[in-house]
Chain A
Protein backbone atom coordinates (compact mmCIF):
# COMPACT_ATOMS: atom_id res chain seq x y z
CA UNK A 1 0.00 0.00 0.00
CA UNK A 2 1.05 3.59 -0.48
CA UNK A 3 2.64 5.53 2.30
CA UNK A 4 0.11 6.97 4.75
CA UNK A 5 -0.17 10.40 3.22
CA UNK A 6 -1.47 13.04 5.59
CA UNK A 7 -4.97 13.53 4.30
CA UNK A 8 -7.35 16.21 5.35
CA UNK A 9 -10.80 16.63 3.87
CA UNK A 10 -10.93 19.27 1.17
CA UNK A 11 -13.23 22.27 1.54
CA UNK A 12 -15.52 20.72 -1.07
CA UNK A 13 -15.74 17.51 0.94
CA UNK A 14 -16.50 19.46 4.12
CA UNK A 15 -19.23 21.31 2.30
CA UNK A 16 -20.56 18.01 1.00
CA UNK A 17 -20.62 16.59 4.50
CA UNK A 18 -22.61 19.58 5.66
CA UNK A 19 -25.06 18.95 2.83
CA UNK A 20 -25.33 15.29 3.78
CA UNK A 21 -25.92 16.19 7.41
CA UNK A 22 -28.61 18.62 6.32
CA UNK A 23 -30.22 15.95 4.14
CA UNK A 24 -30.12 13.50 7.02
CA UNK A 25 -31.69 16.05 9.32
CA UNK A 26 -34.44 16.63 6.77
CA UNK A 27 -35.14 12.94 6.59
CA UNK A 28 -35.34 12.66 10.36
CA UNK A 29 -37.65 15.65 10.43
CA UNK A 30 -39.95 14.13 7.81
CA UNK A 31 -39.93 10.79 9.60
CA UNK A 32 -40.79 12.42 12.92
CA UNK A 33 -43.56 14.54 11.49
CA UNK A 34 -45.06 11.60 9.63
CA UNK A 35 -44.94 9.44 12.74
CA UNK A 36 -46.49 12.09 14.97
CA UNK A 37 -49.25 12.77 12.47
CA UNK A 38 -50.10 9.09 11.93
CA UNK A 39 -49.91 8.02 15.57
CA UNK A 40 -51.55 11.20 16.80
CA UNK A 41 -54.30 10.81 14.23
CA UNK A 42 -55.00 7.23 15.23
CA UNK A 43 -54.97 8.08 18.92
CA UNK A 44 -57.29 11.03 18.34
CA UNK A 45 -59.69 8.88 16.30
CA UNK A 46 -59.95 6.43 19.18
CA UNK A 47 -60.08 8.90 22.06
CA UNK A 48 -62.54 11.24 20.36
CA UNK A 49 -64.92 8.50 19.30
CA UNK A 50 -68.38 8.72 20.92
CA UNK A 51 -68.10 5.38 22.71
CA UNK A 52 -64.61 5.97 24.10
CA UNK A 53 -65.62 6.64 27.75
CA UNK A 54 -67.43 3.30 27.95
CA UNK A 55 -64.66 1.45 26.16
CA UNK A 56 -62.09 2.93 28.50
CA UNK A 57 -64.14 1.83 31.46
CA UNK A 58 -64.51 -1.76 30.34
CA UNK A 59 -61.14 -2.32 28.59
CA UNK A 60 -58.65 0.05 30.24
CA UNK A 61 -59.53 0.06 33.89
CA UNK A 62 -56.51 0.45 36.16
CA UNK A 63 -58.17 -1.15 39.14
CA UNK A 64 -59.15 -4.32 37.29
CA UNK A 65 -55.76 -4.46 35.56
CA UNK A 66 -54.00 -4.48 38.93
CA UNK A 67 -56.42 -6.89 40.48
CA UNK A 68 -56.26 -9.46 37.68
CA UNK A 69 -52.50 -9.15 37.20
CA UNK A 70 -51.20 -11.82 39.65
CA UNK A 71 -53.48 -14.53 38.25
CA UNK A 72 -52.60 -13.57 34.68
CA UNK A 73 -48.89 -13.72 35.46
CA UNK A 74 -49.40 -17.25 36.76
CA UNK A 75 -51.39 -18.16 33.68
CA UNK A 76 -48.91 -16.56 31.34
CA UNK A 77 -46.18 -18.68 32.83
CA UNK A 78 -48.05 -21.70 31.43
CA UNK A 79 -47.99 -20.10 27.96
CA UNK A 80 -44.29 -19.40 28.26
CA UNK A 81 -43.55 -22.90 29.46
CA UNK A 82 -45.57 -24.39 26.65
CA UNK A 83 -43.77 -22.22 24.10
CA UNK A 84 -40.33 -23.01 25.49
CA UNK A 85 -41.02 -26.75 25.41
CA UNK A 86 -42.71 -26.77 22.01
CA UNK A 87 -40.31 -24.51 20.16
CA UNK A 88 -37.14 -26.67 20.21
CA UNK A 89 -39.19 -29.79 19.44
CA UNK A 90 -40.81 -28.05 16.47
CA UNK A 91 -37.44 -26.95 15.13
CA UNK A 92 -36.01 -30.44 15.34
CA UNK A 93 -39.06 -32.24 13.96
CA UNK A 94 -39.64 -29.63 11.26
CA UNK A 95 -36.07 -29.85 10.06
CA UNK A 96 -36.17 -33.64 10.16
CA UNK A 97 -39.31 -33.69 8.02
CA UNK A 98 -37.83 -31.20 5.57
CA UNK A 99 -34.61 -33.18 5.22
CA UNK A 100 -36.59 -36.39 4.78
CA UNK A 101 -38.55 -34.78 1.97
CA UNK A 102 -35.45 -33.74 0.05
CA UNK A 103 -33.50 -36.93 0.76
CA UNK A 104 -32.81 -39.19 -2.20
CA UNK A 105 -31.95 -42.43 -0.43
CA UNK A 106 -34.18 -45.33 -1.52
CA UNK A 107 -34.45 -46.46 2.11
CA UNK A 108 -36.18 -43.25 3.01
CA UNK A 109 -38.90 -43.46 0.34
CA UNK A 110 -41.63 -44.67 2.74
CA UNK A 111 -40.69 -41.96 5.23
CA UNK A 112 -40.76 -39.43 2.44
CA UNK A 113 -44.28 -40.44 1.56
CA UNK A 114 -45.26 -40.16 5.22
CA UNK A 115 -43.68 -36.75 5.47
CA UNK A 116 -45.69 -35.51 2.49
CA UNK A 117 -48.94 -36.85 3.89
CA UNK A 118 -48.10 -35.46 7.32
CA UNK A 119 -47.53 -31.91 6.11
CA UNK A 120 -50.54 -32.00 3.82
CA UNK A 121 -52.96 -33.34 6.42
CA UNK A 122 -51.71 -31.49 9.46
CA UNK A 123 -51.56 -28.14 7.72
CA UNK A 124 -55.08 -28.70 6.50
CA UNK A 125 -56.53 -29.17 9.97
CA UNK A 126 -57.22 -26.02 12.01
CA UNK A 127 -54.84 -25.82 14.97
CA UNK A 128 -57.73 -25.35 17.37
CA UNK A 129 -59.24 -28.61 16.15
CA UNK A 130 -55.93 -30.40 16.69
CA UNK A 131 -55.82 -29.09 20.24
CA UNK A 132 -59.31 -30.46 20.87
CA UNK A 133 -58.54 -33.80 19.27
CA UNK A 134 -55.32 -34.23 21.20
CA UNK A 135 -56.40 -32.91 24.60
CA UNK A 136 -59.78 -34.67 24.70
CA UNK A 137 -59.41 -37.50 22.20
CA UNK A 138 -56.13 -39.18 23.04
CA UNK A 139 -56.59 -39.42 26.83
CA UNK A 140 -60.00 -40.97 26.11
CA UNK A 141 -58.24 -43.85 24.37
CA UNK A 142 -56.94 -44.81 27.83
CA UNK A 143 -53.63 -45.90 26.40
CA UNK A 144 -51.26 -47.33 28.97
CA UNK A 145 -48.01 -45.57 29.79
CA UNK A 146 -48.91 -42.24 28.21
CA UNK A 147 -49.57 -39.14 30.26
CA UNK A 148 -53.15 -37.94 30.09
CA UNK A 149 -52.73 -34.36 31.23
CA UNK A 150 -54.37 -31.67 29.14
CA UNK A 151 -51.16 -29.60 29.23
CA UNK A 152 -49.12 -32.43 27.74
CA UNK A 153 -51.53 -33.16 24.89
CA UNK A 154 -52.25 -29.54 24.10
CA UNK A 155 -48.51 -28.94 23.79
CA UNK A 156 -48.23 -32.03 21.61
CA UNK A 157 -50.96 -30.67 19.35
CA UNK A 158 -49.07 -27.41 18.92
CA UNK A 159 -45.86 -29.30 18.16
CA UNK A 160 -47.59 -31.45 15.55
CA UNK A 161 -49.29 -28.51 13.92
CA UNK A 162 -46.33 -26.15 13.82
CA UNK A 163 -43.71 -28.70 12.83
CA UNK A 164 -45.66 -29.17 9.58
CA UNK A 165 -45.48 -25.45 8.84
CA UNK A 166 -41.87 -25.15 9.90
CA UNK A 167 -40.95 -28.19 7.77
CA UNK A 168 -42.22 -26.41 4.69
CA UNK A 169 -40.30 -23.27 5.61
CA UNK A 170 -37.11 -25.29 5.97
CA UNK A 171 -37.78 -27.11 2.72
CA UNK A 172 -38.22 -23.91 0.76
CA UNK A 173 -34.95 -22.71 2.26
CA UNK A 174 -33.16 -25.92 1.30
CA UNK A 175 -34.48 -25.71 -2.24
CA UNK A 176 -33.43 -22.09 -2.59
CA UNK A 177 -29.76 -22.98 -2.16
CA UNK A 178 -28.22 -22.93 -5.61
CA UNK A 179 -27.55 -26.38 -7.13
CA UNK A 180 -23.93 -25.38 -7.72
CA UNK A 181 -23.42 -25.62 -3.95
CA UNK A 182 -24.46 -29.27 -3.95
CA UNK A 183 -22.31 -29.82 -7.00
CA UNK A 184 -19.19 -28.43 -5.39
CA UNK A 185 -19.85 -30.42 -2.21
CA UNK A 186 -20.17 -33.56 -4.31
CA UNK A 187 -16.98 -32.63 -6.13
CA UNK A 188 -15.27 -32.72 -2.73
CA UNK A 189 -16.54 -36.30 -2.45
CA UNK A 190 -18.99 -35.49 0.31
CA UNK A 191 -22.00 -37.78 0.49
CA UNK A 192 -25.39 -36.28 -0.19
CA UNK A 193 -26.12 -36.42 3.52
CA UNK A 194 -22.89 -34.64 4.38
CA UNK A 195 -23.56 -32.06 1.71
CA UNK A 196 -26.96 -31.41 3.24
CA UNK A 197 -25.62 -31.32 6.77
CA UNK A 198 -22.57 -29.12 6.22
CA UNK A 199 -23.32 -27.08 3.11
CA UNK A 200 -26.98 -26.83 2.21
CA UNK A 201 -28.82 -26.78 5.52
CA UNK A 202 -26.62 -24.11 7.17
CA UNK A 203 -27.23 -21.80 4.23
CA UNK A 204 -30.91 -22.68 4.13
CA UNK A 205 -31.41 -21.99 7.83
CA UNK A 206 -29.89 -18.53 7.50
CA UNK A 207 -32.24 -17.71 4.67
CA UNK A 208 -35.38 -18.83 6.46
CA UNK A 209 -34.83 -17.06 9.77
CA UNK A 210 -37.39 -14.33 9.00
CA UNK A 211 -40.22 -16.71 8.02
CA UNK A 212 -39.30 -18.97 10.96
CA UNK A 213 -39.62 -16.03 13.28
CA UNK A 214 -43.01 -15.41 11.78
CA UNK A 215 -44.08 -18.92 12.73
CA UNK A 216 -42.64 -18.57 16.23
CA UNK A 217 -44.54 -15.40 16.92
CA UNK A 218 -47.62 -17.14 15.63
CA UNK A 219 -46.91 -20.08 17.93
CA UNK A 220 -46.48 -17.82 20.93
CA UNK A 221 -49.93 -16.45 20.32
CA UNK A 222 -51.44 -19.83 19.55
CA UNK A 223 -50.44 -21.11 22.97
CA UNK A 224 -53.57 -19.20 23.96
CA UNK A 225 -55.64 -21.76 22.02
CA UNK A 226 -55.20 -24.12 24.96
CA UNK A 227 -57.59 -21.91 26.88
CA UNK A 228 -60.27 -23.72 24.91
CA UNK A 229 -59.48 -27.00 26.68
CA UNK A 230 -59.75 -25.37 30.11
CA UNK A 231 -56.06 -25.03 30.83
CA UNK A 232 -55.53 -22.07 33.12
CA UNK A 233 -53.26 -20.13 30.78
CA UNK A 234 -53.24 -16.34 30.57
CA UNK A 235 -56.26 -16.12 28.28
CA UNK A 236 -58.39 -18.56 30.26
CA UNK A 237 -57.53 -16.71 33.46
CA UNK A 238 -58.48 -13.41 31.87
CA UNK A 239 -61.76 -14.84 30.61
CA UNK A 240 -62.46 -16.22 34.04
CA UNK A 241 -61.84 -12.85 35.63
CA UNK A 242 -63.86 -11.03 32.96
CA UNK A 243 -66.85 -13.28 33.41
CA UNK A 244 -66.93 -12.75 37.15
CA UNK A 245 -66.30 -9.01 37.16
CA UNK A 246 -67.93 -7.86 33.93
CA UNK A 247 -64.77 -6.09 32.86
CA UNK A 248 -62.59 -6.83 29.83
CA UNK A 249 -59.41 -5.12 31.03
CA UNK A 250 -57.65 -8.46 31.70
CA UNK A 251 -57.84 -9.23 27.96
CA UNK A 252 -55.85 -6.09 27.20
CA UNK A 253 -53.38 -7.05 29.92
CA UNK A 254 -52.93 -10.45 28.30
CA UNK A 255 -52.42 -8.83 24.90
CA UNK A 256 -49.69 -6.64 26.40
CA UNK A 257 -47.98 -9.73 27.79
CA UNK A 258 -47.96 -11.44 24.40
CA UNK A 259 -46.62 -8.33 22.66
CA UNK A 260 -43.94 -7.97 25.31
CA UNK A 261 -42.85 -11.52 24.62
CA UNK A 262 -42.73 -11.31 20.81
CA UNK A 263 -40.99 -7.97 20.37
CA UNK A 264 -37.65 -8.99 21.96
CA UNK A 265 -37.65 -12.16 19.85
CA UNK A 266 -38.14 -10.12 16.68
CA UNK A 267 -35.29 -7.79 17.61
CA UNK A 268 -33.04 -10.72 18.43
CA UNK A 269 -33.66 -12.27 15.02
CA UNK A 270 -33.03 -8.96 13.23
CA UNK A 271 -29.77 -8.66 15.10
CA UNK A 272 -28.72 -12.20 14.25
CA UNK A 273 -29.53 -11.71 10.57
CA UNK A 274 -27.60 -8.45 10.47
CA UNK A 275 -24.60 -10.11 12.08
CA UNK A 276 -24.54 -12.89 9.51
CA UNK A 277 -24.90 -10.40 6.68
CA UNK A 278 -22.01 -8.34 8.03
CA UNK A 279 -19.75 -11.33 8.33
CA UNK A 280 -20.53 -13.04 5.04
CA UNK A 281 -21.26 -10.22 2.68
CA UNK A 282 -18.65 -7.71 3.74
CA UNK A 283 -17.34 -5.82 0.73
CA UNK A 284 -19.42 -7.76 -1.78
CA UNK A 285 -21.25 -5.81 -4.42
Chain B
Protein backbone atom coordinates (compact mmCIF):
# COMPACT_ATOMS: atom_id res chain seq x y z
CA UNK B 1 0.00 0.00 0.00
CA UNK B 2 2.95 2.32 0.31
CA UNK B 3 4.58 4.34 -2.36
CA UNK B 4 1.37 5.15 -4.20
CA UNK B 5 0.79 8.79 -4.92
CA UNK B 6 -2.98 8.86 -5.36
CA UNK B 7 -5.69 11.00 -3.87
CA UNK B 8 -7.59 9.07 -1.24
CA UNK B 9 -11.26 8.50 -1.96
CA UNK B 10 -12.11 9.70 1.51
CA UNK B 11 -9.90 11.84 3.68
CA UNK B 12 -11.26 12.81 7.08
CA UNK B 13 -9.36 15.14 9.38
CA UNK B 14 -10.31 16.22 12.90
CA UNK B 15 -13.98 15.34 12.49
CA UNK B 16 -16.15 16.36 15.41
CA UNK B 17 -19.85 15.75 15.83
CA UNK B 18 -22.03 16.57 18.82
CA UNK B 19 -25.67 16.18 19.70
CA UNK B 20 -26.23 18.97 22.16
CA UNK B 21 -23.72 18.40 24.95
CA UNK B 22 -22.94 14.86 23.91
CA UNK B 23 -19.78 14.51 21.86
CA UNK B 24 -20.36 11.62 19.46
CA UNK B 25 -17.26 11.95 17.30
CA UNK B 26 -14.14 13.56 18.64
CA UNK B 27 -11.18 14.43 16.46
CA UNK B 28 -11.64 11.52 14.07
CA UNK B 29 -9.19 11.19 11.19
CA UNK B 30 -9.44 8.53 8.55
CA UNK B 31 -8.09 7.97 5.09
CA UNK B 32 -9.62 5.56 2.57
CA UNK B 33 -7.77 4.76 -0.63
CA UNK B 34 -9.39 3.41 -3.78
CA UNK B 35 -10.02 -0.31 -3.37
CA UNK B 36 -9.76 -0.12 0.41
CA UNK B 37 -12.17 -2.01 2.60
CA UNK B 38 -12.22 -0.20 5.93
CA UNK B 39 -13.97 -1.91 8.82
CA UNK B 40 -15.13 0.20 11.75
CA UNK B 41 -15.44 -1.84 14.91
CA UNK B 42 -16.41 -0.89 18.44
CA UNK B 43 -19.30 -1.26 20.84
CA UNK B 44 -22.71 0.29 20.27
CA UNK B 45 -22.66 4.02 20.76
CA UNK B 46 -18.98 4.31 19.90
CA UNK B 47 -19.82 6.49 16.91
CA UNK B 48 -19.50 4.06 13.98
CA UNK B 49 -22.90 4.80 12.48
CA UNK B 50 -22.57 8.51 13.03
CA UNK B 51 -19.23 8.50 11.23
CA UNK B 52 -20.79 6.74 8.25
CA UNK B 53 -23.68 9.18 8.20
CA UNK B 54 -21.26 12.10 8.33
CA UNK B 55 -19.40 10.67 5.33
CA UNK B 56 -22.65 10.63 3.37
CA UNK B 57 -23.39 14.21 4.53
CA UNK B 58 -26.52 13.04 6.29
CA UNK B 59 -25.33 14.88 9.40
CA UNK B 60 -24.03 18.40 9.72
CA UNK B 61 -20.60 18.18 11.32
CA UNK B 62 -19.29 20.45 14.07
CA UNK B 63 -15.67 20.59 13.06
CA UNK B 64 -13.09 18.99 10.87
CA UNK B 65 -12.83 18.39 7.17
CA UNK B 66 -14.13 15.60 4.96
CA UNK B 67 -12.51 15.24 1.56
CA UNK B 68 -13.95 13.11 -1.22
CA UNK B 69 -11.72 12.49 -4.23
CA UNK B 70 -9.61 15.44 -3.21
CA UNK B 71 -12.47 17.88 -2.83
CA UNK B 72 -13.74 19.17 0.48
CA UNK B 73 -17.35 18.05 0.76
CA UNK B 74 -17.88 19.36 4.28
CA UNK B 75 -18.05 22.82 2.75
CA UNK B 76 -21.60 24.17 3.20
CA UNK B 77 -21.47 25.39 -0.39
CA UNK B 78 -21.17 21.83 -1.69
CA UNK B 79 -24.48 20.34 -2.82
CA UNK B 80 -24.82 17.15 -0.76
CA UNK B 81 -27.02 15.50 -3.36
CA UNK B 82 -24.29 15.81 -5.90
CA UNK B 83 -21.88 14.03 -3.53
CA UNK B 84 -24.40 11.32 -2.65
CA UNK B 85 -24.85 10.47 -6.33
CA UNK B 86 -21.49 8.76 -6.21
CA UNK B 87 -21.83 7.22 -2.74
CA UNK B 88 -23.95 4.19 -1.94
CA UNK B 89 -25.27 3.53 1.53
CA UNK B 90 -26.93 0.51 3.11
CA UNK B 91 -28.56 0.66 6.52
CA UNK B 92 -28.93 -1.82 9.32
CA UNK B 93 -32.74 -1.88 9.04
CA UNK B 94 -32.63 -2.19 5.21
CA UNK B 95 -34.75 0.97 4.80
CA UNK B 96 -36.35 -0.31 1.62
CA UNK B 97 -39.43 1.61 0.56
CA UNK B 98 -42.33 -0.66 1.56
CA UNK B 99 -44.76 0.74 -0.99
CA UNK B 100 -42.53 -0.12 -3.96
CA UNK B 101 -41.65 -3.49 -5.44
CA UNK B 102 -38.05 -4.67 -5.17
CA UNK B 103 -37.54 -3.69 -8.78
CA UNK B 104 -39.02 -0.23 -8.26
CA UNK B 105 -36.87 0.22 -5.14
CA UNK B 106 -33.78 -0.44 -7.21
CA UNK B 107 -34.73 1.69 -10.20
CA UNK B 108 -36.06 4.76 -8.37
CA UNK B 109 -32.81 6.68 -7.99
CA UNK B 110 -31.29 5.54 -11.32
CA UNK B 111 -34.34 6.86 -13.14
CA UNK B 112 -35.05 10.00 -11.15
CA UNK B 113 -31.51 11.04 -10.20
CA UNK B 114 -29.23 9.48 -12.78
CA UNK B 115 -31.56 9.93 -15.73
CA UNK B 116 -31.72 6.33 -16.92
CA UNK B 117 -34.66 5.25 -19.05
CA UNK B 118 -37.24 2.94 -17.52
CA UNK B 119 -36.49 0.00 -19.79
CA UNK B 120 -32.75 0.29 -19.40
CA UNK B 121 -32.94 0.70 -15.61
CA UNK B 122 -35.26 -2.26 -15.21
CA UNK B 123 -33.18 -4.51 -17.43
CA UNK B 124 -30.05 -3.73 -15.49
CA UNK B 125 -31.82 -4.08 -12.13
CA UNK B 126 -33.19 -7.48 -13.13
CA UNK B 127 -29.74 -8.58 -14.15
CA UNK B 128 -28.23 -7.45 -10.82
CA UNK B 129 -31.05 -8.92 -8.75
CA UNK B 130 -30.69 -12.17 -10.67
CA UNK B 131 -27.00 -12.19 -9.92
CA UNK B 132 -27.65 -11.73 -6.22
CA UNK B 133 -30.19 -14.53 -6.16
CA UNK B 134 -33.31 -12.39 -6.05
CA UNK B 135 -34.52 -13.19 -9.55
CA UNK B 136 -37.84 -14.61 -8.43
CA UNK B 137 -38.61 -11.75 -6.04
CA UNK B 138 -38.22 -8.88 -8.47
CA UNK B 139 -41.90 -7.96 -8.54
CA UNK B 140 -42.57 -8.56 -4.86
CA UNK B 141 -42.82 -5.94 -2.17
CA UNK B 142 -40.01 -5.83 0.40
CA UNK B 143 -42.09 -6.94 3.38
CA UNK B 144 -42.74 -10.25 1.62
CA UNK B 145 -39.04 -11.11 1.68
CA UNK B 146 -36.82 -12.50 4.41
CA UNK B 147 -34.39 -10.17 6.16
CA UNK B 148 -31.47 -11.53 4.20
CA UNK B 149 -33.29 -11.07 0.92
CA UNK B 150 -34.31 -7.56 1.88
CA UNK B 151 -30.77 -6.64 2.76
CA UNK B 152 -29.50 -8.07 -0.52
CA UNK B 153 -32.11 -6.00 -2.32
CA UNK B 154 -30.92 -2.94 -0.40
CA UNK B 155 -27.37 -3.72 -1.49
CA UNK B 156 -28.47 -3.94 -5.11
CA UNK B 157 -30.26 -0.62 -4.71
CA UNK B 158 -27.09 1.01 -3.39
CA UNK B 159 -24.82 -0.67 -5.94
CA UNK B 160 -26.91 -0.06 -8.98
CA UNK B 161 -25.20 3.12 -10.10
CA UNK B 162 -21.69 1.78 -9.41
CA UNK B 163 -20.91 4.26 -6.66
CA UNK B 164 -17.35 5.35 -6.06
CA UNK B 165 -17.74 4.46 -2.41
CA UNK B 166 -20.03 2.13 -0.54
CA UNK B 167 -21.00 2.74 3.09
CA UNK B 168 -22.44 -0.23 4.96
CA UNK B 169 -23.88 0.41 8.39
CA UNK B 170 -23.98 -2.87 10.34
CA UNK B 171 -25.88 -4.43 7.51
CA UNK B 172 -25.95 -7.89 9.08
CA UNK B 173 -26.81 -6.80 12.63
CA UNK B 174 -30.56 -7.31 12.18
CA UNK B 175 -30.24 -10.69 10.45
CA UNK B 176 -30.50 -14.25 11.66
CA UNK B 177 -27.11 -15.93 11.81
CA UNK B 178 -28.04 -18.24 8.95
CA UNK B 179 -28.92 -15.26 6.77
CA UNK B 180 -25.76 -13.33 7.58
CA UNK B 181 -23.71 -15.49 5.24
CA UNK B 182 -25.69 -14.73 2.11
CA UNK B 183 -25.27 -10.98 2.64
CA UNK B 184 -21.61 -11.20 3.55
CA UNK B 185 -20.96 -13.29 0.43
CA UNK B 186 -22.02 -10.35 -1.66
CA UNK B 187 -19.89 -7.92 0.29
CA UNK B 188 -16.94 -10.28 -0.05
CA UNK B 189 -17.47 -10.49 -3.77
CA UNK B 190 -17.60 -6.70 -3.97
CA UNK B 191 -14.45 -6.38 -1.89
CA UNK B 192 -12.57 -8.74 -4.16
CA UNK B 193 -13.90 -6.86 -7.15
CA UNK B 194 -12.17 -3.74 -5.87
CA UNK B 195 -15.16 -1.77 -4.56
CA UNK B 196 -14.09 0.88 -2.09
CA UNK B 197 -16.04 0.38 1.13
CA UNK B 198 -16.35 1.63 4.66
CA UNK B 199 -18.39 -0.67 6.85
CA UNK B 200 -19.39 -0.70 10.45
CA UNK B 201 -19.58 -4.30 11.55
CA UNK B 202 -19.73 -6.69 14.45
CA UNK B 203 -18.53 -9.61 12.33
CA UNK B 204 -14.92 -9.84 13.46
CA UNK B 205 -14.06 -12.93 11.43
CA UNK B 206 -15.42 -11.26 8.35
CA UNK B 207 -13.56 -8.04 9.10
CA UNK B 208 -10.36 -9.97 9.41
CA UNK B 209 -10.96 -11.69 6.11
CA UNK B 210 -11.90 -8.78 3.85
CA UNK B 211 -10.64 -5.62 5.54
CA UNK B 212 -7.58 -3.82 4.31
CA UNK B 213 -7.81 -1.65 7.38
CA UNK B 214 -9.60 -1.91 10.71
CA UNK B 215 -10.44 1.05 12.95
CA UNK B 216 -11.45 0.55 16.55
CA UNK B 217 -13.73 3.30 17.83
CA UNK B 218 -14.40 3.98 21.46
CA UNK B 219 -16.19 6.99 22.92
CA UNK B 220 -16.22 8.74 19.58
CA UNK B 221 -12.50 8.42 18.93
CA UNK B 222 -10.49 6.11 16.72
CA UNK B 223 -8.36 4.48 19.37
CA UNK B 224 -6.46 2.19 17.07
CA UNK B 225 -6.30 1.53 13.37
CA UNK B 226 -4.23 -0.59 11.06
CA UNK B 227 -4.26 -3.79 9.05
CA UNK B 228 -6.57 -6.47 10.48
CA UNK B 229 -3.70 -8.79 11.39
CA UNK B 230 -2.47 -6.12 13.71
CA UNK B 231 -5.62 -4.56 15.21
CA UNK B 232 -7.61 -7.77 15.52
CA UNK B 233 -4.80 -10.14 16.44
CA UNK B 234 -2.17 -8.14 18.25
CA UNK B 235 -3.80 -4.89 19.34
CA UNK B 236 -1.59 -2.36 21.08
CA UNK B 237 -4.25 -0.50 23.03
CA UNK B 238 -5.65 -2.06 26.21
CA UNK B 239 -9.15 -0.88 25.32
CA UNK B 240 -9.03 -2.65 21.96
CA UNK B 241 -7.85 -5.80 23.70
CA UNK B 242 -10.64 -5.57 26.19
CA UNK B 243 -13.24 -5.06 23.46
CA UNK B 244 -11.97 -8.00 21.43
CA UNK B 245 -11.95 -10.20 24.49
CA UNK B 246 -15.62 -9.45 24.96
CA UNK B 247 -16.72 -10.02 21.36
CA UNK B 248 -14.48 -12.83 20.21
CA UNK B 249 -15.33 -16.39 21.20
CA UNK B 250 -12.51 -17.85 23.22
**Residue among A16, A20, A283 facing the most chain B CB atoms (10 A cut-off):** A16
**Interface on chain A toward B: helix, strand, loop, or mixed SS?**
loop
Count of chain A residues with Cβ under 8 Å from any Cβ of B? 14
CA of A9 to CA of B63 in the docked complex: distance in angstroms?
6
B74 at the interface (CB under 8 A from A): yes
In contact, B19 and A285 (Cβ under 8 angstroms): no
Known: A5-B27, A10-B63, A285-B91. A16 touches B16 (CB 8 A): no
A246 at the interface (CB under 8 A from B): no
* Chain B residues positioned under 8 Å from A10 (CB to CB): 14, 63-64
Whole-angstrom distance from the CB of B158 to the nearest CB of chain A?
15
* Chain A residues positioned under 8 Å from B23 (CB to CB): 1-2
In contact, A12 and B221 (Cβ under 8 angstroms): no
Whole-angstrom distance from the CB of B47 to the nearest CB of chain A?
11
CA of A16 to CA of B76 in the docked complex: distance in angstroms?
7
In contact, A13 and B63 (Cβ under 8 angstroms): yes
CA of A23 to CA of B14 in the docked complex: distance in angstroms?
24
The 10 closest A-B pairs by CB, nearest first: A13-B63, A2-B219, A19-B76, A1-B219, A20-B76, A10-B63, A9-B63, A2-B221, A16-B76, A12-B65
In contact, B91 and A19 (Cβ under 8 angstroms): no
Known: A2-B219, A13-B62. A23 touches B91 (CB 8 A): no
In contact, B26 and A5 (Cβ under 8 angstroms): yes
CA of A23 to CA of B77 in the docked complex: distance in angstroms?
9
In contact, B53 and A23 (Cβ under 8 angstroms): no
30 A-B interface contacts by CB (under 8 A): A1-B23, A1-B219, A1-B220, A2-B26, A2-B218, A2-B219, A2-B220, A2-B221, A7-B26, A9-B62, A9-B63, A10-B14, A10-B63, A10-B64, A12-B64, A12-B65, A13-B62, A13-B63, A13-B64, A16-B74, A16-B75, A16-B76, A19-B76, A20-B76, A23-B76, A23-B77, A283-B19, A285-B53, A285-B58, A285-B91
* Chain B residues positioned under 8 Å from A7 (CB to CB): 16, 26, 63
* Chain A residues positioned under 8 Å from B77 (CB to CB): 19, 23
Additional A-B contacts beyond A9-B62, A13-B62, A16-B76 (6; CB < 8 A): A1-B23, A1-B220, A19-B77, A20-B76, A285-B53, A285-B91
CA of A1 to CA of B217 in the docked complex: distance in angstroms?
11
**Residue among B19, B26, B53 facing the most chain A CB atoms (10 A cut-off):** B26
- Which residue of A has the minimal Cβ distance to B223? A2
| Binary contact track B64-98/A, C-beta < 8 Å → 1, others 0 | 11000000001111000000000000010000000
